[in-house]
A and B are shown apart, each in its own frame.
Chain A
Amino acid sequence: MELSGAEILIKCLQAEKVEYVFGYPGGAVLFIYDELFKQNKVKHVLVRHEQGATHAADGYSRSSRKVGVALVTSGPGVTNAVTGIATAYMDSIPMVIISGQVPTHAIGLDAFQECDAVGITRPCVKHNFLVKDVKDLALTIKKAFYLASTGRPGPVLVDIPKDVTTDKCKFEYPETISMRSYNPVVKGHSGQIKKAAQLLIEAQRPMIYAGGGVILSDAAPQLTKLVRMLGFPCTNTLMGLGGFPATDKHFVGMLGMHGTYEANMAMQNCDVLVAIGARFDDRVIGDPAHFGQVPRKIIHIDIDPSSISKRVRVDVPIVGHVPDVLDDLIKLIDAGKQRPDAKALGAWWEQIKQWKTKDCLRYDRKSKIIKPQFVLEKLYEITKGDAIVTSDVGQHQMWAAQFYKFDKPRRWINSGGLGTMGFGLPAAMGAQLANPGASVVCVTGEASFQMCIQELSTCKQYRLPIKIINLNNRYMGMVRQWQQFFHGNRYSESYMDALPDFVKLAESYGHVGISIEKPADVEPALKEAFKRTEELVFMDFITDQTENVYPMVGGGKGLTEMILAEEL
């Protein structure tokens, strides 16, 4: 029996066990929507803007380790989705985006709602396809899911012209797939792993620096085992939080531009550094020349060879799937008789403890105005550290990263690479759908939140009981902070006048809104919100306008050239 392209697509999604598709209908995808309507295995979540669809698919993926799927129409549908696709690309999130396209005979003729989707998305996808013949559709979808989820994951776009969704052919979904031009490495090179083990054993001042690759590859158990077995200090990047338990004694906090003093100092001054699923990016090590001033041996484990020796030369590169490499490394160290030099390690920990006494995250706890850090500490206490926390981008994101202690992977969901404001709420929707019983919190600010505020409507339609923590300081806080530090206090266009009444706004969408203006009301409000397990609660915390994120490494500065609260 022959099936139409639209039927084939839905059958493919079913075969891939796709639970949710986040999308928005339009002319070019009408036949696909018609087929979605006729079945109930693949559920569709109707967003209010295509950016929301891609972020929701992204949040779904990050919180569930499954491939996120978005479905958008041609032209503006796909251009609206681009920000979400680029966000997923920068953070290596496995996603498949299906976009409608004008019929094949109309391509290139400036048809209504036509755009070159493959061309526009090319620089921000792992790969993309234009399906010109219905006979290629099933195989292309198979390839898309395979490419998205293997190797270094990433978004894959499949552009389907309208006539391909009505053309018919026999349907057969391939069980397996192999591509001669795509063979991601899994096992690490044993010789390199041996060298790495030797370096670790001989280290006097070791440091383990783990990033988002640990989360994406589900290597948290192996990382935790390795760190505890060696007794080394461990830091996580913004993307890696939860990859190693934040409450473990070996954890020295997040590193980087807003990392802890002790993490940045240890990173700079170590003699053997192990980078695991991390990429030495500019927000993490600052100026690479400054970082290179201290001699140290670097071991770098990553699935993507192009991440290795990109910004920093490494001594022992190991290309492979992180959990496999770590398993091999653990086995090797376990089997050997040598152990790290306890005396040297003790002295190193003493030094780290010394750095810790700076208490770099302290803030004014007696303030009569709500301090954003205080809200996040209370949030951590009340949720017992067990919530899935999404965030937008800015100061609130950094405070959430600093003050919410993530002990488990896939609990911290933020746009680290692209830094996309508007990410938090739709990502929380995806996370809530993937984890129906979980507490899902979106930490945001009044500026970020307004970038995808329309999704409050989606939350109502699907009864998503997300808890929104709006740290409302009436400024684009991080922009204001940079302007204060580096632009002579000229707050150019970073103040938002005429904000909406967020409580009324939440209520108008059918949600619960609470405004909190005093520190004493923070805890009761949070408790009240989490009692409402069936409802979305928007908490508008009116916070200190002048609060800054510390420590801070200025743009282009060295990692240890930190601005600390006490220095101002």
Chain B
Amino acid sequence: MRHIISILLENEAGALSRVSGLFSARGYNIESLTVAPTEDESLSRMTIVTSGSGDVIEQITKQLNKLVEVVKVVDLFEAPHIERELMLIKVRATAKDRDDMKRMSDIFRGRIIDVSEDTYTIELTGTGHKLDAFIEALGRSVILETARTGACGISRGQRVLRI
């Protein structure tokens, strides 16, 4: 089953490779991994999308907690949560297709953030499924390039991940 694991870790050189090394050494899956400093610069927040049985997810969180630089670990799937991913997608948009592209982008609540003679670059956020659906809707032939961040997530309501 798919899980989103959020990690607060010391914002130090090498912390990322400890986490990614743990996943490869123990044979856990990584679907996506994002990391950036938090409002407290000494901490980074990492979001890992992974999959596995309940036992495997339990081991993943335990093993993550064991890493000395990891401060806190939360499996967002334990409670209601919100998940978003950002995609930048560059599409071919020549004279006759430009209106179609604009309309499609609007339908998915994307924003065109760069325009050239025959391309649009669209910014789109949503769940991974939504981004996939957009790609499907456009058709692969018009897509020139995509850049996706991987998912990040946060719990709903009062639940917070902080130290």
Chain A interface residues (CB < 8 Å from chain B): 118-119, 122-123, 126-127, 130, 147, 179-182, 304-306, 309-310, 313
Contact = CB atoms under 8 A, between A and B. Distances in A.
B63 A181 contact: no
Contacts of B68: 126-127, 147, 179, 181-182
Contact of A306 (B10, B13, B62): B62
B70 A181 contact: yes
A304 B71 contact: no
Interface string B35-46: 000000000000
B59 A306 contact: yes
Interface in B29-61: 55, 58-59
B21 A309 contact: no
A122 B18 contact: yes
A521 B151 CA distance: 72
Given A181-B9, A181-B10, A310-B59, A122 B17 contact: yes
A180 B71 contact: yes
Interface residues of B, number: 20
Nearest to B66: A306
Contacts of A181: 9-10, 68-71
Contacts of A130: 13-14
A269 to B, nearest CB: 25
Given A182-B68, A305-B66, A306-B65, 13 more contacts: A118-B14, A119-B17, A122-B17, A127-B69, A147-B68, A180-B71, A180-B163, A181-B69, A181-B71, A305-B65, A306-B63, A309-B55, A313-B55
Q: Chain A interface mostly helix, strand, loop or mixed?
A: mixed
A179 B71 CA distance: 9
Nearest to B22: A123
Contacts of A123: 21, 25
22 contacts: A118-B14, A119-B17, A122-B14, A122-B17, A122-B18, A122-B21, A123-B21, A127-B68, A127-B69, A130-B13, A130-B14, A179-B68, A181-B10, A181-B68, A181-B69, A181-B71, A304-B66, A305-B65, A306-B59, A306-B62, A306-B65, A309-B55
Nearest to B14: A118
> What secondary structure prevails in chain B residues at the interface with A?
helix
B122 to A, nearest CB: 38
A257 to B, nearest CB: 23
B22 to A, nearest CB: 8
Nearest to B60: A306
Contacts of A179: 68
Interface in B1-35: 9-10, 13-14, 17-18, 21, 25
A130 B68 CA distance: 15
A179 B69 CA distance: 9
A92 to B, nearest CB: 12
Contacts of A126: 68
Contacts of B65: 305-306
B91 to A, nearest CB: 39
A107 to B, nearest CB: 12
Contact of A305 (B13, B62, B69, B71): B62
Interface string B63-77: 101101111000000
Contacts of B55: 309, 313
Nearest to A182: B68
Interface string B60-103: 00110110111100000000000000000000000000000000
Contacts of B58: 309
A566 B69 CA distance: 53
B66 to A, nearest CB: 6
Contacts of B17: 119, 122
Interface centre among B9, B25, B63, B66 (most CB of A within 10 A): B66
Nearest to B63: A306
A24 B69 CA distance: 30
B157 to A, nearest CB: 26
Contacts of B62: 305-306
A62 B142 CA distance: 65
A330 B14 CA distance: 44
Nearest to B15: A181
A267 B68 CA distance: 35
A123 to B, nearest CB: 5
Contacts of A306: 59, 62-63, 65-66
B90 to A, nearest CB: 34
A304 B63 CA distance: 10
